[in-house]
Amino acid sequence: MNKEQKIMDAKIMQAKGERQKEIAKVLGVTERTVRNYLKTPPGRKTRKRRASKLDAYREYIGTIIEENPQYNMELLYKKLVAAGYRGKISILRDYAATVRKRVLREAVIRFETLPGQQAGRLERIWHTGCWG
């Protein structure tokens, strides 16, 4: 049973008139935990997305990495600092890793051939001696 389910069960039990001590015993938690569960407002907690020092440079970083996925982060960091970036390189590396992963995943295009099709082509090349 996950935490959200326990919270809902605690609230249902309280509405039925059960005491916190009984609820704690049924859920297998402490009375203090039950008290906190009952204070919890309904629904999930949503956190506000904080602004990052990198936000203004994300598009630029994306274009650089799309052109060259192996671009050196030290050089990119120096370019960004010259452009006014005030963050640290670790934030840049973390973001660049996610962009790199996406770019490299898109770069692989799979194609399927019929069974024996590639082997037959390689056999013809081998017998004719034409590798070009």
The reply to whether 44 falls in a domain is: no
The reply to whether 61 falls in a domain is: yes
User: Does the global pTM surpass 0.85?
Assistant: no
pLDDT tens for each residue of 92-119? 999 999 999 988 887 666 667 776 666 6
The reply to whether 70 falls in a domain is: yes
The reply to whether 114 falls in a domain is: no
The reply to whether 89 falls in a domain is: yes
Domain that holds residue 32: 3-39
The reply to whether 12 falls in a domain is: yes
Q: What is the pLDDT of residue 42?
A: 75
Q: What is the pLDDT of residue 1?
A: 73
Alpha carbon distance 83, 71 (integer Å): 18
Quickly list DSSP for 29-51.
S-HHHHHHHHHSPSS---PPPPP
The reply to whether 68 falls in a domain is: yes
Q: Does the pLDDT value for residue 131 go beyond 90?
A: no
Across the chain, what does the average pLDDT equal?
85
Q: What is the pLDDT of residue 106?
A: 72
Q: Does the pLDDT value for residue 130 go beyond 60?
A: no
Do residues 125 and 131 lie in contact, with contact meaning Cβ atoms separated by under 8 Å? yes
State whether 34 and 71 are in the same domain: no
Q: How many structural domains is the chain composed of? A: 2
The reply to whether 113 falls in a domain is: no
State whether 33 and 77 are in the same domain: no
pLDDT tens for each residue of 78-90? 999 999 999 999 9
